[in-house]
């Protein structure tokens, strides 16, 4: 219809030009053609923006995240809008302004949390776009479509029923969106009608998620170490470290009972610290939690009971994140067993929920000391110390005192030799002698006289009687 109308106008004006009119007619024809082309381009761009609004509403309601943003520029390099890239859907484009008095199609969030289409024209108040039954049209459903017909703007949401909105003139109009903000945690778009769309940055979420996995791994590592310490025979079969330059990132430990754990050295977020503390009154370990500079507080279950680390019903607390749909922020949560996760509150501070951010740093584990040939020592920032032996290491007292002409029994333990098949031989000097009992005990007899320089016995442990692994232990003996 528009093209037919334009063709008639051009024919009439052209005929007038051939009858002697000046070239002003041609200029008016060119001006009209340019204006119509501009309106058509604006109409096409406008419908693309409507698709963007639908995508943005879906991204909010389906809790999508932004992976990146970029500027839209024209041929001269001038910024004309923005492009938003999402994790789970196609990117959208937003333009700074529109040319012509166009209808404004926006959206508003209803009391049910769903976004609905609105429409206004030439500065009028936005009203809900409704279907043939008088119900608001949700943004998650059909997308309105704008056309120009008979030199007027029309809108339809179903392609059947069209509503005239006003003349398609050429005056300037306001931008469809008011502001575009890229923050440290979120991207926010504020539309001209006041509607706000906000999404978390995937990079921030991903970093928090990574740190969260490490914190929960550290909590599980503590449970593994405490359970191993409760047994007198579990030992470390393998230990390795992951480094980045000079910094130790993590320590991997494997135990003789098949358990494994990873200890991460540093956390890079404000995630609450989950740790195990020993109760001096009963000698048992219980889970505790601290946020910021707080002293760790016992974690309790729904009945108010503390949670033991070693028991038949032991359950390691799990830290998580939960998004608040009202403010768009993520907050730390804690989950115990099969119970639902609950928000963590800064009880000794503001009393508010603890928001998950990346602007803090601190350590949970102080260090992992592997310098001792028998013991691996894990020290916590809280002061707790976990010590576990290496597999096939021998524990025996090496500094002793004896009276001349006396005997002493030295018990020993070979970690990993559950069947007690290790054999022992000895090298002695200056009248010392060694003999053995059925139990893992070595008996040393001292001579009638000896000095501190001659009191020495070297023991050779043939681990598991394989002949391939031996351990030497030197027993230094001082006279009483």
Average pLDDT over residues 229-242: 88
Task: Report the C-alpha gap between 389 and 236 in whole angstroms.
Answer: 6
pLDDT tens-digit map of 283-323: 888 888 876 666 778 888 777 788 887 776 667 888 888 87
**pLDDT tens digit sequence for 396-447:** 999 999 999 999 999 999 998 888 889 999 999 888 999 988 788 999 999 9
DSSP 169-214: --SEE--SEEEEEE-SSEEEEEETTS-EEEEEBHHHHHHHHHHHHH
User: What number of other Cβ atoms are within 10 A of residue 411's Cβ?
Assistant: 12
Of the candidate ranges 63-72, 390-399, 446-455, 457-466, the one whose mean pLDDT is the lowest: 446-455
Burial of 294 per CB tally in 10 Å (0-12, 13-18, 19+)? middle
3-state helix, strand, coil in the chain (%, to 5): 20, 40, 40
Average pLDDT for 338-363: 68
Average pLDDT over residues 148-155: 71
Indicate the pLDDT class of residue 254, thresholds 50, 70 and 90: very high
- 251 CB-contact burial (10 Å; exposed 0-12 / middle 13-18 / buried 19+): buried
DSSP letter assigned to residue 463? G
pLDDT of the residue at 469:
85
Q: What is the DSSP string of 353-379?
A: B-B--SS--EESEEEEE--SSSEEEEE
| Residue 297 CA from chain centroid, whole number | 24
Which of 69-73, 189-193, 260-264, 403-407 comes out lowest in average pLDDT?
Answer: 189-193
Distances (CA, A) of 378 to 231, 286, 317: 17, 18, 20
For the entire predicted model, the pTM comes to 0.59
Q: In sequence order, which residues have a C-beta less than 8 Å from that of residue 186 and are 6 or more positions away? A: 66, 198, 199, 200, 201, 328
Give the highest mean pLDDT range of 67-71, 158-162, 191-195, 242-246: 67-71
- Which pLDDT belongs to residue 177? 73
Compute the C-alpha angle 425/431/434, nearest 5°.
25
**Model pLDDT, residue 444:** 95
Q: Dump pLDDT digits (tens) for 373-396.
A: 889 999 887 778 889 999 999 999
- Model confidence band, residue 173 (pLDDT cutoffs 50, 70, 90): very low
The pLDDT confidence band at residue 174, using thresholds 50, 70 and 90, is very low
Q: Of 60-64, 83-87, 274-278, 454-458, which has the strongest mean pLDDT?
A: 83-87
Q: Give per-residue pLDDT as tens, 96-109.
A: 764 445 667 778 88
Mean local confidence (pLDDT), 114-136:
81
Q: Each residue of 178-228: pLDDT tens digit?
A: 788 888 888 998 887 788 888 888 887 887 777 778 888 888 888 899 888
Q: With bands split at pLDDT 50, 70 and 90, how would you rate the model's confidence at 146?
A: confident
Percent of the chain whose pLDDT exceeds 90: 17
The ranges of the chain annotated as CATH 2.60.40.10 are 394-479
- The pLDDT confidence band at residue 16, using thresholds 50, 70 and 90, is very low
Q: Pick 394-479's CATH classification: 3.40.50.300, 1.10.287.1260, 2.130.10.10, 2.60.40.10.
A: 2.60.40.10
pLDDT (mean) for 59-80: 86
pLDDT of residue 270: 63
């Amino acid at each position: 219809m528009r093209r037919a109308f334009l063709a008639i106008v051009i024919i009439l004006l052209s005929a007038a030009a051939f009858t002697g009119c000046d070239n002003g007619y041609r200029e008016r024809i060119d001006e009209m053609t340019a204006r119509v082309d501009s309106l058509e381009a604006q109409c096409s761009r406008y419908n693309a923006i409507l698709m963007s609004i639908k995508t943005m509403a879906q991204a909010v309601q389906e809790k999508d995240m932004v992976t990146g943003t970029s500027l839209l520029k024209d041929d001269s390099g001038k910024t004309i809008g923005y492009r938003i890239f999402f994790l789970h859907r196609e990117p959208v484009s937003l333009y700074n302004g529109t040319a012509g008095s166009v209808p404004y199609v926006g959206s508003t969030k209803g009391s049910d949390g769903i976004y609905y289409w609105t429409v206004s024209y030439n500065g009028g108040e936005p009203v809900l776009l409704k279907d043939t039954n008088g119900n608001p049209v949700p943004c998650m459903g059909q997308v309105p479509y704008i056309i120009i017909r008979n030199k007027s703007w029309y809108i339809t949401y179903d392609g059947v029923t069209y509503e005239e909105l006003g003349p398609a003139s050429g005056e300037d109009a306001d931008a469809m969106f008011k502001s575009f903000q890229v923050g440290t945690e979120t991207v926010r778009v504020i539309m001209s009608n006041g509607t706000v769309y906000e999404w978390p940055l995937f990079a921030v979420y991903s970093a928090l998620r990574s740190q969260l996995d490490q914190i929960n791994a550290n909590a599980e590592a503590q449970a593994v170490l405490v359970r191993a310490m409760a047994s007198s025979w579990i030992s470390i079969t393998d230990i390795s470290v992951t480094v980045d330059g000079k910094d130790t990132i993590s320590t991997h430990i494997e135990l003789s009972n098949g358990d494994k754990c990873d200890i991460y050295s540093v956390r890079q977020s404000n995630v609450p610290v989950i740790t195990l503390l020993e109760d001096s009154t009963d000698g048992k370990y219980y889970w505790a939690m601290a946020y910021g500079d707080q002293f760790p507080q016992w974690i309790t279950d729904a009945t108010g009971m503390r949670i033991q680390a070693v028991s038949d019903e032991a359950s390691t607390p799990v830290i998580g994140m939960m998004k608040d749909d009202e403010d768009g922020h993520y907050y730390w949560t804690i989950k115990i067993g099969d119970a639902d996760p609950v928000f963590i509150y800064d009880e000794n501070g503001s009393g508010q929920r603890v928001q998950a951010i990346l602007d803090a740093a601190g350590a949970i584990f102080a260090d992992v000391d592997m310098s001792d040939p028998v013991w691996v020592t894990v020290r916590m920032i809280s002061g707790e110390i976990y010590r576990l032996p290496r597999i096939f290491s021998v524990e025996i007292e090496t500094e002793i005192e004896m009276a001349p002409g006396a005997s002493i029994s030295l018990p020993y333990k070979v970690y990993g030799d559950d069947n007690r098949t290790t054999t022992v031989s000895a090298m002695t000097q200056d009248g010392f002698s060694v003999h053995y009992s059925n139990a893992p005990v070595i008996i040393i007899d001292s001579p009638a006289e000896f000095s501190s320089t001659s009191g020495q016995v070297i023991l050779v442990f043939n681990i598991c009687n394989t002949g391939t692994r031996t351990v030497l232990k030197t027993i230094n003996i001082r006279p009483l």
